[in-house]
Chain A
Amino acid sequence: MKNLFNKFGERLNRVSSMKLTLLAVLSALIVGAFIIIVSDVDNLRDGDVLGAVSTVGSAYWALVVGSFGSLRAISNTINSSTPLILCGVSVAIAFKAGLFNIGATGQMLAGGMTSLWVGFAMDGPGYVQVPLAILAGAIGGAVFGAIPGILKARTGAHEVITTIMLNNMAAFFILWLLKTDLFQREDRTDPISKLVSAEGRLPRLFGFMDGRADLIAHVGFIVALGAVLAYWWFLKKTTTGFEFRAYGLNADAATYAGMHVKRLTVLSMMFAGGFAGLAGAAEVLGTYGYASTNFAGNIGFDAIAIALLGQSSPLGTFFAAILFGALQAGGRQMQTNSDVPIDLIIVLRALIVMFIAAPLLVKTIWRTKNATIAAGQTFRGWGS
């Protein structure tokens, strides 16, 4: 009986940390509503406060419709979420081992370029070329991700610094690569890559529906789902996953227990890089079919917020990425339908992160009682 009670207590704690996350999202939406109202100059100038309030309604409704309201909207959400899920897992797995991977952007660029090379240089049947190109993306990202891991294990250089620097190095390296004969499209002078061969493109998810060229979601999403599953399996079932968790929670105890912590440092950054590399592959092979200098965009940084929001758990990270992807997809609809600029999405995301980072604030606002603050596992800080 007592046993049952305690199990229930633990469940309650988990629920309340999820509740806290949901409340943070809700808080962000409410603050976002105020921002919409005060920036609705047209209505306010006329003294039409009700009109401004209705703008909020139509803006948020457009968000919903634009993200889940139609097959096309869902396809857009899936498409936006795919790289976010993969990069989210990248940041999350490093968090689990106590490392802060700010380098998902660079790793994504590296993985994107290796998969691109396989994508245009090879000319085989799709069922050979596509898996190979995806694999190349994972390897490219993993190799690039291993660099800060090795630097940390060998010299103690902090991964926050090295990954940020490597992001810049990757960006400029790719700018140069895209101007080389190997990568640059023959008829172009600007840094744009050759096109991935038609066989090498990721098949579209809704490809079976003829004549719906607007459904752009591709099988990169399946890869992302697989990555979430692999991440879950890795943490729960494998010895190395157990080592990651122990090392992330208490590095001294991991050392005491005989774990090879330097190896773990390198491995975790390698895995993180591999997942981010998959995101690059998905974007290049699926969404674009070529590479430009900024195909990684802001995804690597959004991924940090996603991993935090999802408390680095496989499922949490997945849903956080879907949320961010949905905001992205819905934001475009919102801009068209209601004159509220898509920049509001950036504000909303920032607010969500802020409320997540300040659980006490959320608890005070919503007067929740005794909700345990579970921020999940993040990195060890500067001292390590």
Chain B
Amino acid sequence: MKLELRGITKRFPGVVANDNVNLALNTGEVLSLIGENGAGKSTLMSVLYGMYKPDEGQIVIDGTDLVFASPADAIGAGIGMVHQHFMLVPVFTVAENVVLGVEPTGALGKLNIDEARRMVREISDKYNLDLDPDAVIEDLPVGVQQRVEIVKVLLRDAKVVVFDEPTAVLTPSEIIEFFEIVKTLVSAGRGVVFITHKLKEALNIADRIAVLRRGKVVGEVDPKTATESQIAEMMVGRPVQLTVDKNSAKTGDVVLKVTDLTVLDADGRTHVENVSFEVCAGEIVGIAGVQGNGQTELVEALTGLRKATRGVIDLDGKDLTHSNPRERHQMGMAHIPEDRQRQGLVGGLSVAENLVLTRYHDDQFSHGVYVDWEAANAVAETLITEYDIRTPNKETGVGTLSGGNQQKVIVARELSRDLRLTIAAQPTRGVDVGSIEYIHSRIVKERDAGTAVLIVSTELEEVMALSDRLLVMYRGKVVAELDPKKVTPMEVGLYMAGSRPDSAVSA
């Protein structure tokens, strides 16, 4: 089967999301669609999957023009999609989820669950997916849930499978398994579209890479000959620095001192256990670890969003274990939260309002009960320019900005004052290449100005590149303190997985 997108144009009020896009895919190959957030990847795939009607252009399969009025038409034409956020019923079994919508039924519409099990087992065996049809979804790790989605697509006989940012939710080892599955799919004669913004992965798995920028295909490259920086430049439209540029740290006094910190949740489960560490002025300490090993709770305890069950948190020698977020904020603590949509921003408020979200009560912005919006707007204008926030104007709703620009709003707000300690959790998650470069340079600049910086990230590469010292968290404990210049990602990966390499180089 040959799938072609010819001259696809899709306009939304104010933007052209796809501008005359031409793409072709044969079964038996992997096409990687790469581009920054907001480049139009998702829109294009929504057009292909029948969720949007293109304003211009055709979808052509084996020479026939097709019009998809709904995803059902797309599925009928042999196109399957695995969404970034899975569409599974958590309390159903694998088999029940897989047949949902195409249930094999017996007399009086009774679900034939044995047949469903058989179908799951058959596909699972054929593609080496190793799925138990009777396992309940909510008990399964994310990587396995993704395989359930793949079975769903295969059961509907998809010739072309579209993966939307499939690796975003996976651990490093799950990513490796995922790539094996993609290879199996391709060798079985299916076509794969792999949407991503991670250059390494595209280079690793794709047969061809199409680069999208501002709704247009700006070029197609061959992964065998292309380099990361070459693709990054195509994505962003200018040369991009992919490594973090920093001098060695000039470490000062201890700023943050955490002693025997333990955090339990309301149900009595331990998330952080006897964690002790220090962060000094002028250094970046990174915390690596697989998602869900207590990093979120640690950050929440440090920033006052969660109660510390035991232990002491000192900032500049002052005990703030029981201070609320605002008091910590006023003592010079900045917090870039891991989930910017949920915590960092109020999507319904304007860029300017978000830029003062944690500061509106400062004397600078308030007189008695009034907010001094004139002062706030003036500062907002300055920050928008200084931090290169791409927004139509300061009154625009922050929710309409791209992920990278939303993150810049948070970074601008949190870093644009005198700080003693900056805590940044997943500072570049879901952020485009150009903005990552910028945010990293800002964090390093903050360090060089003498601020203590704590970075928590599940992206090993990022945390290793930024940190001057590296801590690894596993099951709520700090299991290693390493010098990022002296360890390899593989070694850190072993600590993250809970094992202790004998030949580990300790800092």
A255:B13 contact, CB within 8 angstroms:
no
A299 to B156, CA, bound (A): 55
Interface residues of B in 286-338 (CB under 8 A from A): 303, 305, 324-326, 329, 335, 337
B337:A256 contact, CB within 8 angstroms:
yes
A5 to B13, CA, bound (A): 11
A249 to B373, CA, bound (A): 19
A259 to B326, CA, bound (A): 7
A256:B325 contact, CB within 8 angstroms:
yes
Taking the complex as formed, is A364 at the interface, i.e. its CB lies under 8 A from any CB of chain B?
no
A327 to B326, CA, bound (A): 49
Beta-carbon nearest neighbor of A250 in chain B: B346
B393:A253 contact, CB within 8 angstroms:
no
Interface residues of A in 1-46 (CB under 8 A from B): 2-3, 5-7, 9-10
B396:A6 contact, CB within 8 angstroms:
yes
| Contact among B358, B371, B373, B395 with A257 in the assembled complex (CB-CB below 8 Å) | B358
A258:B343 contact, CB within 8 angstroms:
no
Interface residues of B in 86-138 (CB under 8 A from A): none
Residues of chain B within 8 A (CB-CB) of A240 are 369
Beta-carbon nearest neighbor of A254 in chain B: B346
B347:A3 contact, CB within 8 angstroms:
no
Residues of chain B within 8 A (CB-CB) of A242 are 353, 360, 371
Minimum Cβ distance to chain B for residue A381 (Å): 15
A237:B370 contact, CB within 8 angstroms:
yes
Q: How many residues of B contact A (CB 8 A)?
A: 32
Minimum Cβ distance to chain A for residue B385 (Å): 14
Q: Mark A228-268, 1 if CB is under 8 A from B, else 0.
A: 00000000011111100110011011111111100000000
Taking the complex as formed, is A370 at the interface, i.e. its CB lies under 8 A from any CB of chain B?
yes
| Contact among B305, B335, B360 with A239 in the assembled complex (CB-CB below 8 Å) | B360
A253:B346 contact, CB within 8 angstroms:
yes
A238:B13 contact, CB within 8 angstroms:
no
Residues of chain A within 8 A (CB-CB) of B346 are 245-246, 249-250, 253-254
A253:B371 contact, CB within 8 angstroms:
no
A3 to B14, CA, bound (A): 12
Beta-carbon nearest neighbor of A245 in chain B: B349
Taking the complex as formed, is A197 at the interface, i.e. its CB lies under 8 A from any CB of chain B?
no
Taking the complex as formed, is B271 at the interface, i.e. its CB lies under 8 A from any CB of chain A?
no
A249:B347 contact, CB within 8 angstroms:
yes
SS of A interface (majority) = helix
Minimum Cβ distance to chain A for residue B467 (Å): 24
A257:B357 contact, CB within 8 angstroms:
yes
Residues of chain B within 8 A (CB-CB) of A79 are none
Q: Mark B360-395, 1 if CB is under 8 A from A, else 0.
A: 110000100111010000000000000000001101
Beta-carbon nearest neighbor of B357 in chain A: A257
B357:A239 contact, CB within 8 angstroms:
no
Taking the complex as formed, is B33 at the interface, i.e. its CB lies under 8 A from any CB of chain A?
no
| Known contacts A250-B347, A256-B337, A258-B324: A2-B392 contact under CB 8 Å | yes
Taking the complex as formed, is B203 at the interface, i.e. its CB lies under 8 A from any CB of chain A?
no
Taking the complex as formed, is B345 at the interface, i.e. its CB lies under 8 A from any CB of chain A?
yes
Residues of chain A within 8 A (CB-CB) of B269 are none
Taking the complex as formed, is B486 at the interface, i.e. its CB lies under 8 A from any CB of chain A?
no
B13:A239 contact, CB within 8 angstroms:
no
Residues of B within 8 A of A (CB): 13-14, 303, 305, 324-326, 329, 335, 337, 342-349, 353, 357-358, 360-361, 366, 369-371, 373, 392-393, 395-396
Residues of A within 8 A of B (CB): 2-3, 5-7, 9-10, 237-242, 245-246, 249-250, 252-260, 370, 377
5 A-B pairs closest in CB distance: A258-B326, A6-B392, A249-B348, A258-B325, A256-B343
Knowing that A242-B353, A242-B360 touch, tell me 9 more A-B residue pairs with CB under 8 angstroms. A6-B393, A6-B396, A239-B360, A246-B346, A249-B346, A253-B345, A253-B346, A255-B343, A256-B303
